[in-house]
Structure 1
Amino acid sequence: MSMNNGLAQLEKNLQHELSLLEIPAKDWVKPRYVGDAQLHDVVVIGAGMAGLTVAAALKFLGIKSLLLDRSPEGFEGPWATTARMETLRSPKQLTGPALGIPSLTFRAWYVAQFGQEAWDVLDKIPRLQWMDYLRWYRKVTAPDIRNNHQVLDVELHEDNYLVLTVQYQQTVQKILARRLILATGRDGLGGAALPAFVNDIPRQYWAHSSDVFDYSTLKNKKVAVIGAGASAMDSAATALEEGAASVEMLIRRKDIPRINKGKGAGSPGLVHGYADLPDEWKWHFRHYINKAQVPPPKGSTLRVSQHPNAFFNLDCAIEKLETTTNQQLAIHTSKGVFTVDFLFLATGFKIDWSLRPEYARIAPLVRTWGDRFTAPEGEDDKELSACPDLGKSFEFQAKAGVVAPVLSNVYCFSYPAVASHGTVSGDIPAISDGARAIAQGIASSLFKEDVDSYYTQLQAYADPELDGDEWQAALPPSQRTS
């Protein structure tokens, strides 16, 4: 079977499966207007994996959504832009964004094109192939997406809706929404976490591992990478493969983490039970994983260490950076001075609303975990403290003393939801569970908001099941003839 025929048959199978489940539901949400402008039921910022999945989950429940993404079509998310791993880290068999539909899985998409034998020998999913799958997912779920649209501002309107200021090319427009979902990825409420020691170093000497960067410019250059996580290994390997003269891995820890503790608790119990745990248990779980840190994948590490010009410097704390007279960078560490041409900071991300000016109106209102929860002794955690304290449907909640009822119409479906809901809003394993939970919460809130009109609709319903001629009224027993 050819590739095209295989996909065509798969798409027929998908439509059949959806029809068996009566998906999608019919449109039911009452349209609302502000003047002549119709309010969108849901606007989603971000059309990467999380945005696509939650849009499909909403569609399956009969709720329309509009997705806005600043990237060109087919390049949403990190997969074909800033990600540099050769393969995904998740096991190939995870169903990811399929929302329980067999023909919507990566496995079905792959087998339809390359066959069962190819699937059986596949180890991990190639990164760019995952992006191709998401492009197909977009095609078959058919969300309403506007690419190259940059959100500049979000206003909470006192009449219980949101006003988005959006730029497309040279045009700025207003988009009105009843509900807003932030599906903006790992750095969704902030950006790169940059250590203070780079503040005075010109940008020509360094980049964050998540930056768009042309690694071919590193040919014959001496490179250093700060960090030992997956992104550090990916940046180091890419530099080496592009002909870097050497790569120094500068690792503060005395050893690289060996065990992925997150795998030790992975189960449907954690996925569905985490959100209902007492705050103390949520904190224990997430802080323990944060403290242990996630080791880089074995394959990613071997991808670096196979190069003889890669050097792993452990117990190597950074003391200061300075530029040299011959346009290099001197990195002073506890292990000595490293002189390089370029430095990558694989230092992760942080929640920092100041890096997201489009949310400037929202940021001062949002309650964080640090606002209301005191960490247990010995478990201080800046990342968890900065996470928004979300409601049961991923909605933002206002700080104590702040009156902002419209804030609960804004939902966080990006990484910072982790403290409140666990890893169901960005990672492949449980992305469908998170998407269904937020979609069901929005369905509930939209219904409650217009419950009077739905009750009126109930009363006005007059489509008869019976015409009245299906039976004949019986006479009393005394009047019947035998």
Structure 2
Amino acid sequence: MTPPTAAPPHGLEQLEARVAQDLAWLDLPAKNWLPDTEVNGQPVLPVAIIGAGMGGLATSAALQFLGVRAPIFDRAPAGLEGPWATTARMETLRSPKSLTGPALGKPSLTFRAWFESQFGTDAWEQLDKIPRLQWMDYLRWYRKVLALEVHNQHTLLSVLPRGADGVVQLDLETPDGPRRVLARHVVLATGRDGLGGAWVPPIADNLPRRAWAHSSDEMDYGMLKGKRVGVVGAGASAMDSAATALESGAASVDLLIRRSDIPRVNKGKGAGSPGLTHGHLNLPDAWKWKIRHYINVQQVPPPRGSTLRVSRHENARFNLGTQILDLQWTNDEIRAVTNKGVFRFDFLIFSTGFRIDWSQRPEFAKLAPHVRAWKDRFTHPAGEEDQELADSPDLGPAFELMEKVPGACPGLSRVHVFAYPAALSQGTISGDIPAVSVGAQRIAQGIAGTLYAEDIEWHYDNLQTFEEPEVFGDEWTPAEPPPQEAAT
């Protein structure tokens, strides 16, 4: 018997035709079912999305499938949304290649379909992990094939819920000047640092800003050629930054790792299941906190490939159990005083993660004082202190923000958070590849249901005036009444 041969690549054009056919078979997108809305003569969008990364694209597509227009506004130039082609420095994604990501349950929208259509099934079988820039190419294609409406180079300046007229006002800066957009609901799909930004320890203030960077900063690593570089941390971004510095010709790279050992097991991966994905939302608060806190404490290990990418360089040093006690700037060099001794660097990279900190995001200044965080209503068990969880927004079932003081900010619930800080309330379905489709469909269904309820009188009027006949009266002949019996 002749063994079957791998299917040859058939090209993106054929795949795009398949996408169109799949959507037609599913009768997607649904027709628009919403009334046109205006405020003082200005059109009002049903939904506006801030951020055209993976989460924003998936949410826009999920809403589009439900017949709800949801344009996206992103500050980046077209094709450079999200971190993949800008600040991310990993060679490949951590996630297994088999995960379906933002495909929304449509096989022809998966990365695998996109990859095999160009390179064939043999290449898919040989692929270990998805190259970072290839993932960005896939997201560009996803946007194109679904004809998603994205407005690039639109920088958000302000978000203002206007409770009186039931809209959210967005003020944006564009290449053509200021622009004001009104929407009934707004989704913040702003990524890992979506409600704050990079965090560095206060001790960094001892150094001139030119002497250090955060691993999420956009920078030219070529400037590190010939320099002694320190990297604070041992997570994925630390390894990626260290490796990029080494590959750019750094004289040496010292990783300063506070722990005595690098985490080995990704507990979050072990917890992943459809049960948790769909069940986290309805867990008691104490269980939500307990699970997320445990994963935070255990920490996520750096990928094996990223770590080997560093350790293959002889001028890389892993300094375990090393805690920074002081940073000094002396004679144009950094003196990092640690419990293991003094390190001297020309440049320091902090791979110290992100914090939820509304004060770092002036565009949210009108929201921030009114947002209810978990710390405002939940008392964590003793021994489970966790600043990230305490600062997390307390979100409703459709990812909507809740008021700290009821009535203090009417319309706040029209702003929805589809970004990593939603994890405590909703589970990890809004910031990572494994369950982003579940999250996008949940928020889309929640917003669509809310829009329907808000317009219920209009829909009821339409119901009453609907006059499309299905039966015309010529399908039967009325029967004659039965003969009358004579009276006895």
TM-score by length of 2: 0.96
Cα distance in 2 for partners of 1:84, 1:458 equals: 54
1:61 aligns with 2:61: no
Q: Which residue of 2 aligns with 1:471?
A: 476
Query: In 2 relative to 1, CA 401–37 (structure 1 residues): closer, same or farther, beyond 3 Å?
Result: closer
Matched residues in 1 for 2:352 and 2:448: separation?
Answer: 38
The corresponding residue for 1:159 is 165
Q: CA deviation at 1:154?
A: 1.1
Paired with 1:450 and 1:403, the residues of 2 have a C-alpha distance of 24
The one-letter amino acid of 2:375's match is G
Q: State the alpha-carbon separation in 2 of the partners of residues 134 and 2 from structure 1.
A: 23
Percentage of identical aligned residues: 58
How far apart are residue 287 of structure 1 and its match? 0.2
Counterpart of 1:213 in structure 2 is 219
CA drift of 1:479 comes to: 6.2
Residue of structure 2 in register with 1:260 after alignment: 266
One-letter amino acid of the counterpart of residue 356, structure 2 = I
Q: 2:113: which partner in 1?
A: 108
RMSD of equivalent CA atoms? 1.2
Q: Which residue of structure 2 lines up, in the alignment, with residue 444 of structure 1? A: 449
Aligned-pair distance for 1:66? 1.5
SS of corresponding position for 2:411? helix
SS of the residue 1:323 aligns to: strand
Q: Which residue of 1 aligns with 2:464?
A: 459
Moved more, 373-382 or 156-165: 156-165
Where does residue 243 of structure 1 map in the other structure? 249
Q: 2:404 aligns with which of 377, 399, 405?
A: 399
Distance 2:161 2:142 in 1: 32
Secondary structure of the corresponding residue to residue 338 of structure 1:
strand
Counterpart in the other structure of 1:150 = 155
d(CA) in 1 for partners of 2:14 and 2:8?
A: 11
- Residue 21 of structure 1: aligned partner: 26
- Structure 1 runs, 4 residues or longer, greater than 2 Å off: 400-405, 476-480
- Pairwise CA distance, 1:2: 9.2
The answer to whether the 8 Å contact 2:54/2:139 transfers is yes
Q: 1:40 maps to what in 2?
A: 45
Structure 1 unmatched runs, 5+:
none
Helix, strand or coil at the partner of 1:288: helix
In the alignment, does 2:218 pair up with 1:191? no
The residue number in structure 2 matching 1:329 is 334
1:168 aligns with 2:159: no
Contact 1:365 1:402 in 2 (8 A): no
1:55 deviates by 0.2
Aligned to 1:52: 57
In 1: Cα distance, 2:159 partner to 2:405 partner:
22
Structure 2 Cα separation of the partners of residues 452 and 403 of structure 1: 27
For residue 308 of structure 1, what is the aligned residue in structure 2? Answer: 314
Q: Which runs of 5+ in 2 are unaligned?
A: 1-6
Q: How far, CA to CA, are the matches of 1:320 and 1:404 in structure 2?
A: 43
Aligned residue identity for 1:70: R
Aligned-pair CA distance for 1:200:
3.0
2:383 corresponds to 1:372 = no
What's the offset of the Cα at 1:404?
A: 2.6
SS at match of 1:23: coil
- 1:367-391 superposed Cα distances (whole Å, 9 cap, x missing partner): 0000000011110110000000000
Aligned match of 1:96 in 97, 101, 119?
101
Partner deviation per Cα, 1:106-147 (whole Å, 9 max, x = no partner): 000000000000000100000000000000001011111110
Residue of structure 1 in register with 2:132 after alignment: 127
Cα pair 1:99 1:436 within 8 Å, conserved: yes
2:394 corresponds in structure 1 to 389
Provide the C-alpha distance between the structure 2 equivalents of 1:266 and 1:272, rounded to a whole number of angstroms.
Answer: 11
CA–CA separation in structure 1 for the residues paired with 2:407 and 2:41: 32
> How many residue pairs align between the two structures?
478
Secondary structure of 1:65's counterpart equals coil
Structure 1 residue 476, shift from structure 2 partner: 2.3
Deviations 1:446-482 (A, max 9, x none): 00001000000000000111110100111223269xx
1:406: how far off? Answer: 0.4
Question: What do the CA deviations read for 1:59-89 (whole angstroms, capped 9, x no partner)?
Answer: 0000001211000000000000000000000
How far the C-alpha of 1:403 sits from its partner, in A, is 3.1
